[in-house]
Amino acid sequence: MSRKKAVCILSGGMDSSLSSYIAKKEDGYDIIAVHFNYGQRTEKRELEAFRNICEDLDIKEKYEIDIPFFTQIGASALTDKTIEVPTQGVKPGVPITYVPFRNGIFLSIATAIAEKEEAEAIFIGVVEEDSSGYPDCTDSFIEKMTSAINQGTKESTKIKIKTPLVKLMKRDIVKRALELKVPLEHTWSCYKEEEEACGVCDSCRLRLNGFKEANAIDPIPYKD
């Protein structure tokens, strides 16, 4: 009897890594991991994190997909190096680090892989409650994407988009990750740096605050 399969979108960050651990350790899926190189500032470091997490989870099937057009589109501090990554703290509204429709594109590609591999679920580590305010990280967006991908695939294809972290706060994500023994030292969240995390971009601030509120120590290196 074949085991159930899930495609996990895995950036190598804390959220996507926990989502992948939940898929395998709690929900019992065989994982097909998908990573996207899209010209982001920390592309090399994220790819290293992805490979390390895949090794930690003993994932055999994985895709490393290049999406060069995000840099051509620009409009984001993550993909356009002429735009500075903000370091003044998380503010209301959609920040300049938002990459236009990134998760929609990621989910579309993951759907193609899921259909080919006959997977029944796609896991994505989006967080709505305690995030940077990205519009493609919301429950309503995921619900509509689920409807669209099932409408646009074969009748025999039935895919659920699973978002186990979407309603969690960062402190709860840290706690869950520690409970599941996610190797957080292998994850990377910084938007700016690849050697030592900057500690001041939105992603670093959210991560560090999560560790602080969870009374835990972040194991990755930060600049002084």
- 164 within 8 A of 6, measured Cβ to Cβ: no
Per the listing, tokens 């969870």 go with 214
Per the listing, tokens 């009374």 go with 215
Find out whether 13 is annotated in a ligand binding site: yes
Find out whether 190 is annotated in a ligand binding site: yes
Distance from C-alpha of 216 to C-alpha of 153, rounded to nearest angstrom: 43
169: left (phi over 0), alpha (psi -120 to 50) or beta: beta
Per the listing, tokens 């709690």 go with 26
Find out whether 201 is annotated in a ligand binding site: yes
Find out whether 10 is annotated in a ligand binding site: yes
Q: Give phi and psi for 222, each to the nearest 5.
A: -120, 150
Distance from C-alpha of 191 to C-alpha of 60, rounded to nearest angstrom: 28
Find out whether 11 is annotated in a ligand binding site: yes
The b/e string for 13-48 (b: 16+ C-beta within 10 A; e otherwise) is bbbbbbbbbbbbeeeebbbbbbbbbbbbbbbebbbe
Find out whether 18 is annotated in a ligand binding site: yes
61-66: strand order across its sheet: 61-66, 30-37, 5-9, 121-123, 160-162
Write out the binding residues for ATP. 10-20
- Residues forming the annotated binding site? 10-20, 190, 198, 201, 204
- Residues marked as binding for Zn(2+)? 190, 198, 201, 204
